[in-house]
Structure formats: structure tokens, C-alpha cells
Amino acid sequence: MSDAIKRIGVFTSGGDAPGMNACLRAVVRTAHEYGIAVTGIFRGYAGMIEGESTELTTRDVSGILQKGGTILKSARSKQFRTVDGRIAAAENVRKWQIDALIGIGGDGTLQGATIFSAEHNIPIICCPGTIDNDLFGTDYTIGFDTAINTAIQSIDRIRDTADAHNRLFLVEVMGRDAGFIALHSGIGGGAELVLIPESNQSMEYVKKRILETMSNQLRSSIVIVAEGDELGGAVHIASSLEDDSSFDDIEIRVCILGHTQRGGSPSANDRVLASRLGMASIDALVQGHTNVMIGIVHDRITLTPSEAVWTQKKIMNFDLMKLADVIR
């Protein structure tokens, strides 16, 4: 297939993640090693539909390894979910004389790539770029390591002020459908309780655990809450606690870390991971693979069919959940 591929298009899509630029850099430089030209497509599928692109040389990706976000910008496209939108995107891909595509993004990116490739016979390979780490077929996604380190830095600071006043802090982290960020940052930040979508806990249990911890240790307490936890997020949980007279003497504070977890310079681990995945995506493409996601499992590059990535659920490591419970 390497002889048939003269030009590839590369794009970043969905939520941004630290390390996307590092992946893009590796894609461009590896492609040029094979003698393949690269077109950068701005704003993901939206830019593909609207015809926003630029030529990318090795010099164009110099100095971006350490930058957060994505120099190609990102977007979520409702229009791409329609047949007409995908037709418009395919027309531009052909106009740009692109022979194959590399996408960097999450499950929505993978789903779009699967449908688009099937409808228009365009080879597409994806790299997992999402801070949520929730994609089947890879142990780690680009941006996850940076996000949990950012969260832990904030948790450490919150612990200082919590200890100064013996307060209860409910810290909400990202994770609408998965609790990987909450669990890892909770363990790394020494949280007394971690609440995630994968573990159904009653409000009664939460109240009991908090009261036991604060009365036994006579100190502050930090509860990490994934935004998608079934109890309704940190604000809702705080309101329920404040309505309970058992918490009348406990000062309760809420801190929502929000999009701070998406930004910032990528960690060393994310830079290396993103670079490995970016290079492997071009290697796989010239070897004739298509409709796969490049992942890493047990520190080895793997290829997983794109459809399997967004149709199968990544399983939480329940040993880590036990660890969080035991060493709180």
C-alpha cells in the first residue's frame, strides 16, 4: 500500500488532550520518512466538511512537542453525523488528493472514522487522544497521564487548605462516563473516598464513610467525585450532606477542576506515548492496515478494529478500586 499512498490527511477531533501535538509531530515526520506528503485538516470533521486545510512539513511541526491543545484545532461536528455532511467531507478529501487519513481523538472520532471509511472507501487509522482513558484496545490514551498529574497537583493544594480548617472538600474531576481520572487521581492524591460511575454507592454509604473518617482521624477529608457519578456530581452530593443534621458541624466545600485538566504542557509519559502511537499509525498504514486504532497494551503497540473500540467498554481495574478503599 505504501506505493499507493502519496499523501495523507491528519486531523484532531473531539475534546482536546495534552499530547495531541506530539502525536501530530510524529505522524508528519514519519510520513515524510516514507516520502508521503501531509495535509493538516483544521477543526476535525468540521474542517473536513468546510474545506479548511494546510500543507504540513517537518518544519511546520517543530517546537510543538511541549505544547498542550492542538495546533490543528478541534471541534465536534453535528453535520458530519449526516450523510450529506460526510459526502461533502469526502469531496474535499478527494480534492486535496488525500489517499488516507490519520485521526487523533476519542470514541466519537473512531465512530465517525468507521462510518466514513465504509461509505467512501477511504483508509483511516486513528490514534487514541482523550484524557478520559476510556477507550477499549489500549492501556493508556494520549492526555490521560497529564490530566491525572494536573488533578493531583490541585488535590495537593486543596489538602493544604482543607487541613488548615479541618474541612470536607468534594473535588469533582472529569469523567462523564468513566472514572479512570477520578480513581487514579484519588489514589495518587490520598483521597479518603473516590466516587466513580463504575461503582454504585448509596448516599447513606457516602455519609457513613465521611463521618467515620473525619471523626476517627480528627482531620480534614477529601472526596474525589467523577462528574458522571450516579449520585449526581459534587454539587449535588454537597447539597445532600448539608441537608443532613449530622453534618451541621462540618464545613463543606466544593471544588470543580473542570477544563484545567485538559490544558497544560503534556507530561513526559504523554509525549513518549503520543510519539510512539503517531509513528505506529503511519507504519500500519503503509503496511496495508485500515479501520484500526493504534493502542498500547503491556507496553507493546497493538491494532484494534475501530468498530470494536467504540462498541466495547473498557473494563475498570477493580484492584485499583480495592486499593483506593483500603489505603484511604
Distance (Å, whole) CA 139 – CA 103:
19
For the chain, the C-alpha Rg in angstroms (whole number) is 22
d(CA 138, CA 81): 25
Bridge partners of 126, per DSSP, are: 103, 293
> So which residues are the catalytic ones?
132
DSSP class of 266: P
Q: Please state, in angstroms and rounded to a whole number, the distance separating the CA atoms of residues 290 and 226.
A: 34
Separation of alpha carbons 297 and 92, rounded Å: 35
Q: Residue 297: helix, strand or coil by DSSP?
A: strand
For residue 5, which of 36, 29, 38, 30 has the smallest C-alpha distance?
36
In terms of DSSP H, where are the helices of 121-179? 144-165
Q: Which of 302, 281, 245 is nearest to 109 (CA)?
A: 281
Nearest to 180 by CA among 198, 200, 161: 198
Q: How far is CA 309 from CA 125, 157, 197, 314, in A?
A: 12, 36, 19, 9
User: How far is it, in rounded angstroms, from Cα 88 to Cα 70?
Assistant: 24
Residues contacting residue 252 through CB under 8 Å, at least 6 positions apart: 167, 168, 169, 170, 238, 241, 242
Phi, psi of 50 (to 5 degrees): -90, 0
